[in-house]
Structure 1
Amino acid sequence: MIHIPSTPAQASQSMSDTNQPDPAAEKAAREKEAAEQAALPYTWRQTIADVDLSVPVPPGTRGRDLDVVIGSKKLKVGLKGKDPIMEGDLPKNVRADECTWSLEDQKSVEIHLEKVNQMEWWAHVLTHHPKIDTSKINPENSKLSDLDGETRAMVEKMMWDQRQKEMGKPTSDEQKKMDLLKKFQDQHPEMDFSNAKIG
């Protein structure tokens, strides 16, 4: 839907606010994302370390009817002799020997994937499926509080840096260097810092 401002004042207002997040656009993006995810033949959730999927299958399905393949970068779930329910490449590697699947109540396949890199969020489960906006992920506090202080601080810093990068803003380390340089500039106004590079 295209929103056309009804007055010139609104037009200039909306142009000057381009740097501000537009609540209506964000809501529309969230709704589009939710609709795309709801259309997938499975549901999924993740922590920073793993991914869990639930794939509905016809009621009464038995384990021997299933064709489930979990590779380090591939996933396939289906019924033997039929087209797969889902099949494709994973966005990142998993520890295939630590991944598991089980048939629940003869109506859904529950899959647990262990990420190799346990410090990043996945935007999707299969690379050809729609992505989610990982910058909007709020990890469960209980999961973060399970970590010891040092690890938790590191994870929170990495998540903050990842969000900053996605928004084109400086990471915490870059910001620290910029602050140090500014402090030094303030203390030495006689020096020329126009060609100073932060590296």
Structure 2
Amino acid sequence: MADKDPSPAEDAAARKKEAEEQAALPYKWTQTIGELDLSFNVPGNLKSRDLVVDIKKLTLTAGIRGQEPIISGDLPHAVRVDDSTWTLSTNSDGTKSVEIHLDKVNKMEWWAHVVTSAPTIDVTKIQPENSKLSDLDGETRGMVEKMMFDQRQKEAGLPTSDEQKKMDILKKFQEQHPEMDFSKAKIQ
């Protein structure tokens, strides 16, 4: 039997439960498709040497030295350790917060939780922000721009960039070999 979609009331109850579980965590976290940021408050008199933050490819431990960690466990997916960072910041009210930035290895998946022992969120309900082309790295941006160009060309009944390239190569070849007959040539 197929799963039925939850009713609006069931969905609202699930959202409320999820929000309560997330609010009860000793840290706050947000994510984009490519990275995850989390933070937690610590007393204002602490220095970075008073903290323990250990970011590994598949585990995270963070907290105050000599105390139970505020967050500790297995990450649901791998992170790039060299591109992940943490800082100790002073808040406007004089308290301090530890801010941890995790760079996801797979930039195409949402995380249901920071560590696998934490309550999950429903990743199907995530509404991603519209990204701008300028946010993309060079290679990805070039690929997206090419796809957008090709889509516009197809809609206008014009050749895509690949088709144009083939036609240009054929034209150049025809110019170099005027003795050959290309009247029955088909471009695939």
TM-score by length of 2: 0.67
Residue aligned with 2:11, SS: helix
Looking at structure 1, the residues matched to 144 and 77 of structure 2 have their Cα atoms a distance apart, in angstroms, of 22
**Equivalent position amino acid for 1:27 in 2:** A
Given the alignment, which residue of 104, 125, 142 partners 1:136? Answer: 125
Cα gap change, 1:132/1:149 in structure 2, threshold over 3 Å: closer, same or farther?
farther
Looking at structure 2, the residues matched to 87 and 44 of structure 1 have their Cα atoms a distance apart, in angstroms, of 14
Residue ranges of structure 2 left out of the alignment (5+ in a row): 148-188
Looking at structure 2, the residues matched to 67 and 80 of structure 1 have their Cα atoms a distance apart, in angstroms, of 5
The aligned residue for residue 11 of structure 1 is none
Cα gap change, 1:144/1:54 in structure 2, threshold over 3 Å: closer, same or farther?
farther
Deviation at 1:19, TM superposition (A): 3.5
Deviation string for 1:123-162 (max 9, x for gaps)?
A: 000000000000001111145784448549x9xxxxxxxx
Identity over aligned residues, as a percent?
58
**Equivalent position amino acid for 2:43 in 1:** P
Residue ranges of structure 1 left out of the alignment (5+ in a row): 1-17, 155-199
The reply on whether 1:114 has 2:99 as its aligned counterpart is: no
The aligned residue for residue 41 of structure 1 is 26
Looking at structure 2, the residues matched to 75 and 144 of structure 1 have their Cα atoms a distance apart, in angstroms, of 32
The aligned residue for residue 76 of structure 1 is 61
Residue aligned with 1:102, SS: strand
The reply on whether 1:51 has 2:40 as its aligned counterpart is: no
Looking at structure 1, the residues matched to 64 and 56 of structure 2 have their Cα atoms a distance apart, in angstroms, of 18
The reply on whether 1:29 has 2:18 as its aligned counterpart is: no
Structure of higher RCO (CA pairs closer than 8 Å, 6+ residues apart):
2
Looking at structure 2, the residues matched to 75 and 87 of structure 1 have their Cα atoms a distance apart, in angstroms, of 6
**Equivalent position amino acid for 2:49 in 1:** R
**Equivalent position amino acid for 2:53 in 1:** V
Cα gap change, 1:146/1:68 in structure 2, threshold over 3 Å: closer, same or farther?
closer
The reply on whether 1:94 has 2:79 as its aligned counterpart is: yes
Q: What is the RMSD of the two structures over their aligned residues, measured on CA atoms? A: 2.3
Deviation at 1:20, TM superposition (A): 4.7
